[in-house]
Structures are given as C-alpha cells and as structure tokens.
Amino acid sequence: MADTLVAKLGPEVDTSEFSVDYLQTQLTRRKKSPVKAVILDQTVLSGIGNIYADESLHLAKIHPERRAGTLLPVETKRLHAAVKTIMAAGITHGGTSFSRYVNALGGTGDYLDQARVFRRQGLTCGVCGSVIIKTRVSGRGTHLCPKSQLL
C-alpha cells in the first residue's frame, strides 16, 4: 500500500493534460473497473470527489457501475465534457460554497440545491422523471437514475 501514498496525482480537470484521449487511455487501462471508480481515482484525475462523480455520470448518461472498458468513444467524449461542465459549475458557485461542497461532501452549499442526483434519492430525475436511487459502487454511496444512465 506504500505505493499508493507516493503515487503521482493525475491532472486537474481544467488543464489541457485532461483530454479525451487521456481519459480513453485511463479507461482502457482499468477496463474491468466501474467507471465511477476510475474517475474517482486521484491518480487518474485530481480533485474529483464523490458528488462530482455522481453528477458527471448523470450528465453523461452513463451508469456508475459500467465497466470502464465498455464505454463507446462517443460516451467517453460525453463523460469528458460532463466532468468539465460539472467541475466548472461547482467553481462558479463561489469560493465559500465551493469549499464547503468539496470539503464536507455535501454541506448546504448552493450547488447541492441544484444537484442532478446527489442526495436526491426518492426524488425524480430532471431528465426522464424516473425515481433516483442510492446504491453503493466501490464502497461509495452512489446516486443515479436507473433509466437515464445506461449500464
């Protein structure tokens, strides 16, 4: 486990290093892992927390448990764009709520008021009207729409 302590952190989402090709390479390298576990891996991407992962996967219409190696190129592209969009949305909501959002994993920051799926289990999906569920993926609480997000 000592290796994980010295493992190099992946690029930040808002850098040019985080390209569609880069994401594709990482997904291929971890093709048997659930896609959520890959984007949460800090050696793949720096700074993505549990909320961002759930929100990005919903925006990209990809089920968190999808094996990383099964994503079609168009889905990888969509996921790449979604991660960037969701991260930018968090940042534009201002330093205070953003910090609270990142650090407390779900305080009462502005962003959560307009979350797509995070902590919205039992409520309806804004895309299709189905009921959002909460499950666990790789040991993390995970929120998703079983209809909009393809497994």
Per CB under 5 A, residues contacting Zn ion are 125, 127-128, 130, 145, 147-148
User: Measured from the CB atom, is 44 or 145 closer to Zn ion?
Assistant: 145
CB of 147 to Zn ion, least distance (A): 5
Rg of the chain (C-alpha set): 15
CB of 125 to Zn ion, least distance (A): 3
Q: How far is CA 15 from the centre of its chain?
A: 17
State the CB neighbour count (10 A cutoff) for residue 106: 16
User: Measured from the CB atom, is 44 or 82 closer to Zn ion?
Assistant: 82
User: Measured from the CB atom, is 108 or 130 closer to Zn ion?
Assistant: 130
Which class for 145: exposed (0-12), middle (13-18), buried (19 or more C-beta within 10 A)?
A: buried
CA distances from 4 to 7, 17, 126 (A): 5, 21, 38
CB of 12 to Zn ion, least distance (A): 29
CB of 77 to Zn ion, least distance (A): 20
User: Measured from the CB atom, is 39 or 145 closer to Zn ion?
Assistant: 145
